């Protein structure tokens, strides 16, 4: 084995890791450590595990065998997938799999018995055996639908360990043993993995679970708490877990008894509230009537269609609640009294913009002046003279026998509201002094500015209603009484989860009849109507913790500026804030406002400030801050240590900036891989958003070599071609390892491998280049080198179904179309993919070749859709052989579905038909399988079928 090169520096199973990462992200609440609390942008655990293992596992001169062993360790090989299989397939599903597989159709009658639409396994047949055989035939995507995630699978089968140990020269029986033995073989000791941007704790948690010693730090106390919890709470032993359960039950029981004694969640019939619905109301400046600001009058859908109706009552409206609404009532209720543009008054029907309602204005210097009254520190509700007031308009109750219903608040409900209001009003100052509710002022920032502007809120307690303040203060009091650090941490996290799902920023979701969390995205979103959960609806949050796992607790979690780290680690795995970074420091202050006193008691050595002034931000100082940080990390790793930097961005200029930062920090690039980690269904990211996380693999720059820029261009070309070639050798037609973005990134990495292997390049001033990459990318030599490397990559990346000697004879426009069609075959409909291909193949005006350019629905025109229209904007395509073949296909379809007419057209158009025959066959061969691909068959069926018939004629054609 070559211990100088790691597996991740030679190869990485990006496709499989992407699919597993996507599955993990889609599992939502099923993710391993998300139950601890809210953090933004946690990386998938399988991505972390694979990256760490990839750094530790050595590479050999047999990359195929290396890949097999790597997948085996991660239980992502065929046997591992079989062991991870948890869901059984129905007899009907098995029948359909066998029916669609030509090798197993012969067994249909032996295995299955049909009774109308029902399918049964025949008597005497072993369903498990049939299922195992058919499961093995499925593609990776289908297989993992039936599997637990790899990080949930704890034990590999014995023969897998035999193969792993034989290949790596180890004698491990568990992942932890393997990690220790590989560490000792390579470094002479069990190494430490460090992360100085630990955030939600994914990297330290997974490293500790793999058996490494860990160092974790973050500037932010909430990040520090979540990371500490990921190791100490997720790693709790049975005794500790029992203590946690007892603590949670004890606290909840006390709070529940107090709420019940007050009677503030029960109505006159003894039914208990589940949710309270509130809305803002304001006076219409046009007609003077007080209008409830409701974006929709739909109250509930899931458990029965319920709507609200506005009934005039003097100068205001009563809100009545109506269950069992009909379709017409539901449609009418979908339109409320407020839109993003402003108030739509139901009385005078005039629209008033929100900014006019708030009385916002500009001063003589053009600065914005917010018109809303700014609330005082001890306030928790609007004044009657405020522009925005608040009112309770519906309550969802549950009877003792479990029936649930909505109603408008009656006199008893309003009395309960007043009782809560008086309790909070009478105790607010005392609670703030004791740290039971927030007293912290909201600092101005990118996100927090909205709170001043849109509501006049100046302190964090203003974000919570009276009911929410009362409930949270009761939990705070009980957690303060706890002396155990472990249990106090559990309590703090519980309070934070209740706050996340219990603020005025929680939108009401009528589709699910419940309130959603404050941080459903990375912003403070003020609501015109919001839901307040009762205690019973918050109980699942209080009791929720992550699953328990054996873990190595030999590690450090600290609060620290990454520039001040003093611990040395062999592996630094970091996910830094970057460019358009999330404003973690602002968002986390929402939780810090509740946690300040409790954190000091639990972790007296920690501070309770978000350290805004030190936070890494995407401004002019960003690159210099990052250079300081990564220079420090390079100083705190041995010469044979490694780093993996995770970041998410699609712009080559940003990529170049990060590479220059690393270069300036004394690090050299050895590889880069792109993993799809973002889910499609977030509801927040429309369009061609970035879905990938780049893993940038780095080592310390230890040489003093110097080169000239013109001397290394040929080295870069050779390195790019070598990198692409090695990836193509590993490519699998049935289960692709790589997509085109992976090859492009590999080209970026290959060029930067060469560049950063030198201490200096005499023609380049790195400070100047970094400034250019940030402020004027088109003038940056490094950006130009990266773009050139991308073009080399596109020349090298030949579709698997294409002969290389024919590929080089295609025009750029033909290559653009073929690569786009290959991408569609793999189910990729991102418009950004075609934009990248157009840049890579220098194809201007390609829009004429597109059937759609809608985000995530982009695809090329088929021959039928092109028909006889002239593709005037792309003469390179219009005059090409591929266009002639397309016209032949269209002619054959148009003239009675006759392939002979198609061939006749092509021969008539091509005097050198016989010289072009091999290329024509190749093009038709590539096109014809579109009819057999599910996502393509609807629109490609006709053209692909004619291509298939035409291919047979051309193949059998003779002079």
d(CA 847, CA 874): 9
- Answer yes or no: is pLDDT of 825 > 90: no
Cα–Cα distance between 650 and 192 in angstroms, integer?
31
| Helix, strand, coil share (%) of the chain residues, nearest 5 | 50, 15, 35
* Cα dihedral across residues 279, 285, 290, 294: positive or negative: negative
Return the H-helix or E-strand segment holding 915: helix 913-928
pLDDT of amino acid 649: 59
Segment 825-848 shows an average pLDDT of: 85
pLDDT tens digits for 876-908?
Answer: 999 999 999 999 999 999 998 999 999 999 999
Element (H, E) at 67: helix 63-73
CA trace torsion 612, 614, 617, 620 (10° rounding): 130
Quote the CA–CA distance of 607 and 219 in Å, as a whole number.
10
Q: Residue 36 above 60 pLDDT?
A: yes
| Greater pLDDT, 218 or 740 | 218
Mean per-residue pLDDT for 497-505? Answer: 97
Helix residue ranges, H only, 603-635:
622-635
- Per DSSP, the residues of 269-318 read TS-EEEEEEEEEEEE-TTT--EEEE-S--EEE-TTS-EEEEEEEETTEEE
Cα separation, 498 vs 124, in Å, equals 55
Pick the closest to residue 927 from 805, 828, 832, 801 (CA basis): 801
Pairing of the two strands 298-300 and 306-313? antiparallel
Q: What is the mean pLDDT of residues 56-81?
A: 95
Distances, alpha carbon 327 to alpha carbons 306, 332, 718, in Å: 11, 9, 67
Percent pLDDT > 70 in the chain is 95
Q: If DSSP states are collapsed to H, E and C, what string results for 180-246?
A: HHHHHHHHCCCCEEEECCCCCCHHHHHHHHHCCEEEEEECCHHHHHHHHHHHHCCCCCHHHHHHHHH
Specify which residues 669 forms β-bridges with: 698
pLDDT value of position 618: 56
Q: Which pairs count as long-range contacts for 793-797, CB under 8 Å and 24+ apart, including other chains? A: 793/720, 793/724, 793/743, 793/744, 793/746, 793/747, 793/840, 794/743, 794/744, 794/819, 794/837, 794/840, 794/841, 796/720, 796/721, 796/724, 796/725, 796/728, 796/743, 797/724, 797/728, 797/740, 797/743
Phi, psi of 737, rounded to the nearest 5 degrees: -85, -30
764-818 pLDDT, tens per residue?
888 888 888 778 888 888 888 877 887 788 777 788 778 888 998 999 999 999 9
Residue 532 in contact with residue 275, Cβ under 8 Å? yes
Is the pLDDT score of 683 beyond 70?
no
The answer to whether the beta carbons of residues 320 and 392 sit under 8 Å apart is no
Residue range 695-744, pLDDT digits in tens: 899 999 988 888 887 778 888 888 888 888 877 777 766 666 677 777 77
- pLDDT of residue 31 exceeding 80, the answer is no
Extract the runs of DSSP E, i.e. beta strands, from 832-953: 850-852, 859-860
Residue 32 has pLDDT above 60, yes or no: yes
pTM of the model: 0.84
CA gap 846, 333 in Å, rounded = 45
Report the alpha-carbon distance of residue 29 to residue 931 in Å, rounded.
39
- Between CA 173 and CA 179, with CA 178 as vertex, the angle to 5 degrees is 145
Confidence of residue 686 (pLDDT cuts 50, 70, 90): very low
The overall average pLDDT reported for the chain is: 89
């Amino acid at each position: 084995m070559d211990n100088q090169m790691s597996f991740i520096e030679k190869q990485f199973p990006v496709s499989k890791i992407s699919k597993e990462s996507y599955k993990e992200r889609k599992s939502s609440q099923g993710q391993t450590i998300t139950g601890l609390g809210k953090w933004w942008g946690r990386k998938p655990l399988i991505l972390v595990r694979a990256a760490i293992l990839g750094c530790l596992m050595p590479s050999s001169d047999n990359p195929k065998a290396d890949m097999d062993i790597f997948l085996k360790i991660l239980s992502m090989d065929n046997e591992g997938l079989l062991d991870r299989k948890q869901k059984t397939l129905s007899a009907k599903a098995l029948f359909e799999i066998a029916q669609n597989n030509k090798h197993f159709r012969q067994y249909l009658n032996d295995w299955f018995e049909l009774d109308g639409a029902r399918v049964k396994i025949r008597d005497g047949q072993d369903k498990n055996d049939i299922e195992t055989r058919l499961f093995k035939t499925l593609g990776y995507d289908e297989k993992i639908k039936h599997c637990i995630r790899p990080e949930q699978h704890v034990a590999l089968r014995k023969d897998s360990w035999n193969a792993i140990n034989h290949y790596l020269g180890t004698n491990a029986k568990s992942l932890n043993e393997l990690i220790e033995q590989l560490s000792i073989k390579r470094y002479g000791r069990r190494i430490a993995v460090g992360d100085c941007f630990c955030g939600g704790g994914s990297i330290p948690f997974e490293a500790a679970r793999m058996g490494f010693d860990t160092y974790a730090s973050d500037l932010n106390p909430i990040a520090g708490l979540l990371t500490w919890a990921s190791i100490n709470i997720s790693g709790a032993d049975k005794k500790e877990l029992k203590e946690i359960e007892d603590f949670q039950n004890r606290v909840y029981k006390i709070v529940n008894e107090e709420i019940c004694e007050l009677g503030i969640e029960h109505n006159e019939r003894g039914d208990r509230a589940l949710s309270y619905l509130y809305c803002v109301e304001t006076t219409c400046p046009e007609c003077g009537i007080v209008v409830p600001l409701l974006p929709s009058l739909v109250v509930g859908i899931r458990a029965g269609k319920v709507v609200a109706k506005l009934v005039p009552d003097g100068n205001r409206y009563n809100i009545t609640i109506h269950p069992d609404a009909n379709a017409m009532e539901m449609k009418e209720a979908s339109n409320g009294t407020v839109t993003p543009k402003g108030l739509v008054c139901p009385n005078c029907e005039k629209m008033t913009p929100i900014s006019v309602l708030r009385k916002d204005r500009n001063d003589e210097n053009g600065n914005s002046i917010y018109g809303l009254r700014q609330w005082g520190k001890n306030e928790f509700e609007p004044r009657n003279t405020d522009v925005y007031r608040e009112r309770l308009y519906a309550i969802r109750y549950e009877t003792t026998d479990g029936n649930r219903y909505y109603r408008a608040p009656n006199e008893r409900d309003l009395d309960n509201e007043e009782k809560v209001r008086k309790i909070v009003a009478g105790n607010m100052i005392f609670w703030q002094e004791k740290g039971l509710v927030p007293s912290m002022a909201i600092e101005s920032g990118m996100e927090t500015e909205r709170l001043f502007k849109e509501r006049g809120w100046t302190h964090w307690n203003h974000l919570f209603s009276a009911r929410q303040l009362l409930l949270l203060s009761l939990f705070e009091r009980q957690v303060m009484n706890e002396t155990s650090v472990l249990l106090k941490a559990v309590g703090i996290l519980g309070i934070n989860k209740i706050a996340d799902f219990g603020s005025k920023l929680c939108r009401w979701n009528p589709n699910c009849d419940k309130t959603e969390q404050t941080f459903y995205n990375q912003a403070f979103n003020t609501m015109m109507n919001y839901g307040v959960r009762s205690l019973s609806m918050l109980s699942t949050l209080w009791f929720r913790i992550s699953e328990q796992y054996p873990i190595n607790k030999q590690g450090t979690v600290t609060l620290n500026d990454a520039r001040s780290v003093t611990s040395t680690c062999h592996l630094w795995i970091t996910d830094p804030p970057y460019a358009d970074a999330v404003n973690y420091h602002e968002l986390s202050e929402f939780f810090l406002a509740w946690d300040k006193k409790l954190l000091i008691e639990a972790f007296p050595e920690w501070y309770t400030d978000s350290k805004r002034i030190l936070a890494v931000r995407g401004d002019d100082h960003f690159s210099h801050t990052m250079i300081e940080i990564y220079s420090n990390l390079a100083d705190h790793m041995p010469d044979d240590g490694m780093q993996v930097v995770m970041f998410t961005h699609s712009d080559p200029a940003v990529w170049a900036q990060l590479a220059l930062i690393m270069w300036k920090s004394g690090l050299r690039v050895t590889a880069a891989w792109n993993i799809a980690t973002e889910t499609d269904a977030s509801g927040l990211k429309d369009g061609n958003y970035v879905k990938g996380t780049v893993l940038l693999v780095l080592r310390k720059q230890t040489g003093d070599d110097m080169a000239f820029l013109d001397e290394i261009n040929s080295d870069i070309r050779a390195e790019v071609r070598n990198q692409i070639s090695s990836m193509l050798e590993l490519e699998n037609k049935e289960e692709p390892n790589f997509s085109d973005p992976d090859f492009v990134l590999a080209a970026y990495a290959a060029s930067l491998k060469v560049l950063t292997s030198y201490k200096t390049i005499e023609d380049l001033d790195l400070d100047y280049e970094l400034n250019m990459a940030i402020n004027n990318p088109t003038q940056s030599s490094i950006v130009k080198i990266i773009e050139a490397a991308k073009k080399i990559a596109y020349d090298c990346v030949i579709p698997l179904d294409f002969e290389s000697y024919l590929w080089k004879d295609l025009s750029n426009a033909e290559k653009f179309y073929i690569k786009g069609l290959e991408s569609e075959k793999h189910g990729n409909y991102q418009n950004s993919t075609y934009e990248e291909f157009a840049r890579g193949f220098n194809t201007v005006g390609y829009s004429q070749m597109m059937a759609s350019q809608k985000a995530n629905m982009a695809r090329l025109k088929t021959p039928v859709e092109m028909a006889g229209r002239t593709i005037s904007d792309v003469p390179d395509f219009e005059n090409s052989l591929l266009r002639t073949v397309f016209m032949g296909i269209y002619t054959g379809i148009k003239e009675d579905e006759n392939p002979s007419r198609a061939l006749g057209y092509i021969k008539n158009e091509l005097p050198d038909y016989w010289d072009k025959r091999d290329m024509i066959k190749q093009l038709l061969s590539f096109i014809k399988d579109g009819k057999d691909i599910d996502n393509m068959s609807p629109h490609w069926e006709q053209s692909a079928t004619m291509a298939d018939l035409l291919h047979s004629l051309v193949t059998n054609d003779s002079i």
